Amino acid sequence: MHEAIKVSNVSKVFSRGYLRKSHKLVLSGIDLKITEGDRLVIVGESGMGKTTLARIMADLEWPTEGQVLWFGQDIGRMSKKEKRLLRGSVQYVHQDPYSSLHPAKTIFNIVADPLRYAHGLKSKDLRKRVKELMEMVGLTPAEYFFNKYPHHLSGGGRQRLAIARALTTEPRVIIADEPISMIDMSLRASIIKLFKDLNDQYNIAVVLVLHDIGAAKYFTYEKGEVAILYGGKIVEKGEGTKVLDNPLHPYTRVLINSSPVADPELARNRQVEQLRSYAVPIRTPDSKGCPFAHACNYYIEKCLERDPQLVPVEQNHEIACHVFCNRDGVI
């Protein structure tokens, strides 16, 4: 299997203030890849850098350091022309379907315009393709929606439309940033299901950015990988079932342990681990040590001094933690 997107040693620093002298390290030393036709979930809370990472993967943001490879080619060294040829293969779905769709365009045109520009489709062919795409995302009967506007759709419907629009260029990878955070509760599962179907039926690689661990599990329990972000670093990654059923990093464990469960008895009897701090870590390029050390209940001296690197604990399962990285340390 070929790698669709590979991110190697990517760091991102945002500078601001007078003379751009205040630096904030949003991502540091990220290594991540997704093979063609696979699934990947990036999990993290707000402020952990997950959206920045997704945008860097989609070439909407540029890394301060490191490389992003699309289908084996470094996009930082590509010419404009080369990039334009590949651009359609990697598509991005925005978080908020209430602001990512043009309110004054008909639903037909929202899907049709990219087809007109990118593929030069006209009249009958265009209509046929729009219909196909809308059926792919479950907006049926397609003709019923053609002359309507985005405001006629519910949040779930809008997100489906945004996905249909992303499919116009026949992408091999879709990157979706928090696709369900603005969607009604009863429709969330159906959107995740749609991404799974697109992955299964059309072999499109799907990268989802989520904060909902349950949704991440639903998306990856059959196949796919999970990467957990904390403070701009990947603290744990690996096969979805391995990471989510057997979490090893203390942060992942707290995250899973704190996720709501839909069972009143279990919810009342479980002991939720309390962290030492709930503040979002703010890191600068000079910060040292593990970003989670300030909150972790298991931290040791070393955690404040040295940044832990990702090390494998079993096949396809890596964590970055000084305490739990070797089997003996597991409490």
Partner 1 sequence: MNSLIKVENLRAVYLVREGTIKAADGISFDVQENSVTAIVGESASGKSTIIEAMTRTLPPNGRLLEGKVLYKGKDLLALKKEEFRRIKWKEIALVPQAAQQSLNPTMKIIDHFKDTIEAHRINWNHDQLIQKASEKLEMVRLNPDAVLYSYPMQLSGGMKQRVLIALALLLDPEVLILDEPTSALDVLTQAYIVQLLKELKKKLNITLIFVTHDIAIAAELADKVAVIYAGNIVEYNSVFRIFKNPLHPYTKGLLGSIMAINADMSKIKPIPGAPPSLLTPPSGCRFHPRCEHAMDICKKEKPPLITVEDGAQVACHLYSQGGRKDA
- Note the residues at the interface with partner 1 (CB under 8 A): 45-46, 154-157, 184-190, 192-193, 211-215, 217-218, 221, 244, 254-256, 258-268, 272, 274-275, 278-280
The closest of 288, 95, 272 to 191, measured between CA atoms, is: 95
Shortest spacing between CB 90 and partner 1, in angstroms: 26
SS3 content of the chain, % helix, strand, coil (to 5): 35, 25, 40
> CA 274, CA 294: separation in Å to the nearest integer?
13
Q: How many CB atoms lie within 10 A of CB 208?
A: 27
Q: Could you tell me if 175 and 205 are in contact, meaning their C-beta atoms sit under 8 angstroms apart?
A: no
Shortest spacing between CB 249 and partner 1, in angstroms: 14
> Residue 68's beta-bridge partner residues?
7
> CA 210, CA 214: separation in Å to the nearest integer?
10
Shortest spacing between CB 88 and partner 1, in angstroms: 29
- 3-state class of 179 per DSSP? coil
Q: Could you tell me if 115 and 129 are in contact, meaning their C-beta atoms sit under 8 angstroms apart?
A: yes
Between 48 and 111, whose beta carbon lies closer to partner 1? Answer: 48
Between 88 and 214, whose beta carbon lies closer to partner 1? Answer: 214
Shortest spacing between CB 193 and partner 1, in angstroms: 6
Between 167 and 213, whose beta carbon lies closer to partner 1? Answer: 213
Shortest spacing between CB 113 and partner 1, in angstroms: 25
Shortest spacing between CB 110 and partner 1, in angstroms: 18
Shortest spacing between CB 213 and partner 1, in angstroms: 5
Between 78 and 187, whose beta carbon lies closer to partner 1? Answer: 187
Between 6 and 242, whose beta carbon lies closer to partner 1? Answer: 242
Shortest spacing between CB 235 and partner 1, in angstroms: 14
* Alpha-helical segments (H) within the chain: 50-57, 80-87, 107-119, 123-136, 142-146, 155-167, 185-202, 213-220, 240-245, 250-258, 264-269, 301-305
Shortest spacing between CB 268 and partner 1, in angstroms: 7
Between 174 and 210, whose beta carbon lies closer to partner 1? Answer: 210
Query: What's phi and psi for 18, nearest 5 deg?
Result: -60, 130
Between 10 and 254, whose beta carbon lies closer to partner 1? Answer: 254
DSSP 8-class letter at 63: -
Between 91 and 252, whose beta carbon lies closer to partner 1? Answer: 252
- 3-state class of 263 per DSSP? coil
Q: Cβ neighbours of residue 120 under 8 Å, at least 6 residues apart?
A: none
Between 29 and 47, whose beta carbon lies closer to partner 1? Answer: 47
Q: Cβ neighbours of residue 262 under 8 Å, at least 6 residues apart?
A: none
> CA 100, CA 67: separation in Å to the nearest integer?
28
